Structures are given as structure tokens and as C-alpha cells.
Amino acid sequence: MMAINPNTILNKRYTIESVLGHGGMSSVYRAMDINIGVPVAVKENLVLTEDYSKQFQREATILATLRHPNLPRVSDYFFIPSQGQYLVMDFIEGEDLRERIERIEQLPPLEVILIGSAICDALIYLHQRTPPVIHRDIKPGNIKITPEGHVVLVDFGLVKLLEGNQQTTTGARAMTPGYSPPEQYGTGHTDERSDIYSLGATLYAALTGVIPEDGLSRLTGKTKLTPLKKKRHDVPSELAYVIEKALAIEPEKRYQNAEEFRKALLKAGNLTTAPVDAGLVSPPPEDIIDQSIIHTGISQPVINIAVDSGLYLPRNRILSNLPLKWIISSLAILLIVILGFQLNFIKNIFNKQVPPATTPAAIITKTNLPAVNLPSTTKTSSSLEPILSKTETQSTITPNALTTPNGGGTGKIAFASNRNNDVMQLWLMNNDGSDEKQLTNIPDGACQPDWSPDGTKLAFISPCINKREVYDGSKIFTLDLSNENAITPLPLPTNPLGDFDPTWSPDGKKIAFASLRPGTDPETKEQLIHIFIYNFDTGQMQEITNERWKDRHPDWSSDGNQLAFVRKVATNEIWIMNLTTQYAVRFASSNNAYNTYPIWSKDDNMIFFTQQSSDRGLPYFVGKLIQDIDSSVEFRIPPSGQPPIIPAAQQNLSPDGEWFIYESWPDGENHDIYLATINGANQTRLTENDSFDFGPVWQPSN
């Protein structure tokens, strides 16, 4: 069957622009969707026998249900009698991994880890579908790298639905020597471990420039797998081990699922996570992007291919010499990963001013800042006021601070605790844990303290019975330590839904907070949480975020121009709002982790935050440089090989920026306040009480 001519209109909607690939069984075209004016990729099935037509329609049905950042999206399927079947998918620009290997020959280890992690994310999603979806044709030619450095797994022409103890496949099998596992030949049983083998082979080729020995030949004893480090001696031993395990002949000796493989890859790179929807790797050169032959999200499926098909590189080619620029790039990346956790490195690397928060247009959110005029009074009536007045009889805690051998500079530590009663109250102690004093005695409880920059006041919320993610019905108050601990409600418009997560601006003139004021989304009916700012000088409140998400945990940069906050999309992500340009940008995200409690470093060149796996495992601390906003490079605190800080949550910086205070519960029950340097060393327990202590904040230096 002849290829469709340019300018042909299919199904009264898609104008064919060019042929991207043409074979005996299918063709792929670049086309323009007339209805919405965007380019698409159209895949045409040329074999209209009953079996192939059913397989093609099943492929369309499967792909139409998939929604994942590392997978192409199917938008349409249609059949034209006596002509063909057609599948319309996202048009993905860039180069495929095969072309990148041919161009670079051997990829930097960190880049290979990030590519592998992204594909594992896609496989986790596919394999956890009901029934599981097995790709069965993972190879360099089916992995695309977009101009933004995003990684996409394409070509589902050989997709299989794994139902029960099914031994046969839906459609044809791929037999791509070097990339196909031995069980994929003949009538063997293929499952999710088959995809793990193929991905391992793909990463082997990306690191060495050489396709690994064929799985069937290895199974029959005709050849053995050449150890990866013999092909490239500078690959870290742990990474070589991970990939060789994925290439085990027996499926039971491989990683048993994509999540195991992903975790092993990240550990080999000393990484904690890699987001699925940010630029992961270096983008292809512009001259590569401009070549129309690679402008597709779908490569032609390999169905009953010839034995030599799919061999992109000479099998026995050994590339012993790397281009100098890639040696330097690889060593630089590895050096940052290995050394980036050391305290001296953290202190010395931040010698630049914070760059403007920018990001590709796809993830920039324009926000409006509607001002709400508030009463000019400094105190409003509240049902809590008679209760709050009880604290006036307590002794005044002066803001004078003392320095202790623990370091961290001057300043006391405020925190919430339910000691002495069954609800939370605010407490104060020296930064060595001594001289504990209770600050509030509110029947409905108090928590979430945050210091004013002069160290004389605390913002907090009430009611607070215990620690929660969202505090329904709470209100923000201030406690003045220099005025007999007087407590005053923040003069906001009355709202019964709840305000919480208060944080004082560096100049002391504003308080940012999260609020349930927006109500529910009119379409999704989900409860919205947005970030607001109250201005003491003007008496106005501004809604800073107004998207359909749940935004919490704001934290000011030291210059007061930016806010970091948590936005819950699929999982909790760290975003940055530039208050001057009024744009929000995604800073740190992952499909497999929850990020919470962001805090800026003293020089605004880094954000620390708490991270927790998607299965709600034990939380830990990570950090990320602002300059890495467009990459996925994060580092764990402390680095691998050092005594871990687990579990740990809600860290806060000391006045000198050298120490964390945080909440931890090593015994699984008793929550106490701990202290450690920002590289995770010198861990010290400050409180030892059977109560629940959390939310510590270090008083600023006077």
C-alpha cells in the first residue's frame, strides 16, 4: 500500500504533512489537527487482516486509557473502510536514545540513571494497571528525549495484557537481538520482568556504546555477558551491578518489579528521587531537533522481524576513548553528586544571587492578587478571646537568647507539645533543650509557631488538638513575648473554614498562610487550599495562589521576594512563587514521593524539604539547589553511608544557617525535638518526654 500523500485530510480532521516512517505493516505520519491547530502523529495499520486489525484496535484501546508523563497520549482512533486503521497520538519532538548513543557513543552515568529512572516510572504505571500492561519492545529506538530533556517511552505495537496465568501473547513478539529476554523467543512466558531485562540491556548500550550479548545465545551457552566494566572501566561498580542484575537470564534473579529496579538505579547514583515531569537529561542539539525524520512519538512496531533487524551498533565494537567534553561532563556530574552533601561544599557553593524563578511555559501559572480590604482595627472579636486571656497570668518569657555548645547561634526554640494535658500548647526552651517553659494554656490547643524576624512575637494557630495536614476551623493568632505574652487574633475577615501554616515575612510586615477560604472547586468538588498573604501595614489580604490545587506550607526567601510552598497535584510537589513577577514554577516533584515543609537556605541558593515515599514510608530530608530547578538532581541528608536521619520531618534552620532542628520518632511512637548540622551530622536529642513534640522553630538572633 502506498504512503498517504501530503495535504491529504483524514477523517475530516487530520492534514497529512509528511511521512515519518513507512514499512510493510504500518506507516507513521506527521499531521496537523485542524480542530485545535496542533501537530499530531498518525499511525496507519496497513495489514487489514482480522488478526492484525484486532491487535491494532486493542493497541488503541489500551493506549487511550493511559495517562502518564513518560508515555505518549492517544487522542483518537478511526477506521476507513478499504483503506486502513488509524491511531492518533501526541507528536513528540526530539531524538531517540539510539540516535543519542550514535552521536555521543557513551552517555554519562548520571544521565543513564535518570533515563532509566524515568522509564521505570512509566513501567511502574503500566505494570500496575488492571490487567498489567507489558511493553515487550523496550530498546533505544523506542525511548525519545524531547527538546526539554524529557524522557518518553513510545511504540506499543507489541503491547500485551497480562491476564491471569496467560502464557501466550496478544499480537506478535519482538525479537530484537541483545534487547529481548530469552523468554520472549518462541512461546515462553513474558511478564513485567521481561521489560526489566530489555531496559537493562538498553542502559547497558547507553553506557558502553555496545549492545549486550543476545539473551537466547546466553541461555543456550553459546556466549556470556561481558561485564559492563570491561567495556567501560569508569562506570561506578554499583551501577554496573544494578544493570547486570537486570540482565540475568533467569527472570527470578532479576529485579522483580520496576520499583525495585528504579530504587536500585537511584541508590547507585546517590539520588533520592527523580521527577517524571521535569527536564531530566540534556536536550538534543537544535540541528537534531530540526530533522523531521525523528519528529514522532511512535516508531514502527517490530512484528516478526528479521534476525538482524534492530541492531543499531556493531555488536563487538569497543569504544575505549570518550570525547573530552563528555569525560569532563561526566566527571563533573559525579563529583557534584558525591561531594554535594558535605557541609563545606554546601557552604561554599552558594556564591550567587537567587535567579528569577523561570520555567518552561507549560508549567508556569499566572496568578492574580485580589486585595481584600480589612478593618483598620488591630484586634477583632473572637469567641476565643476570653480563653486566650488566661495566658496573661503566666510569667513573661524574654527574647534574650544564649549560645550553647551545640552551636547554631543565639536564639531559643519554640515548639508544640501535648505534655501536661491532652491538647497541644506552645512551649519554649533553650537551644540545648534546657529550661522548658509553657507559653500558652488554651483549652482548644495551639501549634504551628513561627517567629517574627525580631524574635519578639510568635504566630500560631488554634484550635489544635493534634498534628494534622489540614486544620479545619483554625485561626491565626500572634503571641507577644515582649508584652506579657499577650495573644491577639490576626485581623482577617471571619472565615469558619480554617487558616493555618503561618510564616512571617523577613521584614516582619506580612504573614503568609494556607487557607481553606477558597471553598470547593466547582468542577472537581474537591476542597481547595490556597496561599494568602496578610499585610500589617495596609490591613489587606491577598490570595497568592488561585489554581485548582491544594497549596500549603509556605516559606519566605530571605529577600522576601519569593515563596516556596507545597502544591498537591498527583503527589506533593515543591513550587516557588516569585512575588515580583507573580509567577509560580514547579521546583521539585516526583511520581513516587511526597514532598513537604520546604525551607530556604540562609543565602536563598537552596531549598531543603521533607520527603516521603508514595507508600507512606518513613520520611527523611533532602535538598536541592535553586540553580537545578530545571533538573531532577536532589541530594539526601545525610548522604549514603552516613548514619541516617530517619524518621524525620519539618526541619527548621538555626539563625546562623548551619543547623537543623526537627521532629523525629526513632522508636516509632515518641515524637521529640532533635538537632543536627545541615549535612546530617552531630544528631542530638533535645527533648525527652512521653508527649508528642513537633513543629520546632528557632528564634532569630537579635
CATH class of 96-323: mainly alpha
Q: What is the mean pLDDT of residues 582-593?
A: 80
- What CATH fold (topology level) applies to the domain 361-366+407-698? Neuraminidase (2.120.10)
* From-to residues of CATH 1.10.510.10 in the chain: 96-323
Taking only the tens place, the pLDDT of each residue in 633-645 is 888 888 766 777 8
Round to whole Å and give the CA distance between 590 and 36: 30
Which residue type is seen at 339? L
pLDDT at residue 23, as a whole number: 62
Q: What is the mean pLDDT of residues 318-332?
A: 41
Round to whole Å and give the CA distance between 558 and 384: 33
Contact 66, 52 (CB under 8 A): no
The residue with greater pLDDT, 515 or 155, is: 515
The residue with greater pLDDT, 309 or 448, is: 448
Flag whether pLDDT at 362 surpasses 70: no
* From-to residues of CATH 2.120.10.30 in the chain: 361-366+407-698
Round to whole Å and give the CA distance between 267 and 117: 11
Taking only the tens place, the pLDDT of each residue in 455-505 is 999 999 999 988 888 898 999 999 999 898 899 999 998 888 899 999 999
Taking only the tens place, the pLDDT of each residue in 604-656 is 999 999 988 765 578 889 999 998 887 778 888 887 667 778 888 999 999 88
**What percent of the chain is predicted at pLDDT more than 90?**
36
pLDDT at residue 156, as a whole number: 54
Taking only the tens place, the pLDDT of each residue in 113-139 is 999 999 999 999 999 987 788 888 899
With a CB cutoff of 8 Å and minimum separation 6, the contacts of 20 are: 28, 29, 30, 41, 292, 293, 295, 296
pLDDT at residue 1, as a whole number: 58
pTM of model > 0.95: no
**What percent of the chain is predicted at pLDDT more than 70?**
75
Taking only the tens place, the pLDDT of each residue in 211-236 is 999 988 898 889 999 999 999 999 99
Round to whole Å and give the CA distance between 502 and 471: 12
Taking only the tens place, the pLDDT of each residue in 45-73 is 877 778 778 877 877 777 788 888 888 88
What 8-state DSSP symbol labels residue 287?
A: H
Contact 68, 276 (CB under 8 A): yes
CATH class of 9-90: alpha beta
What 8-state DSSP symbol labels residue 469?
A: S
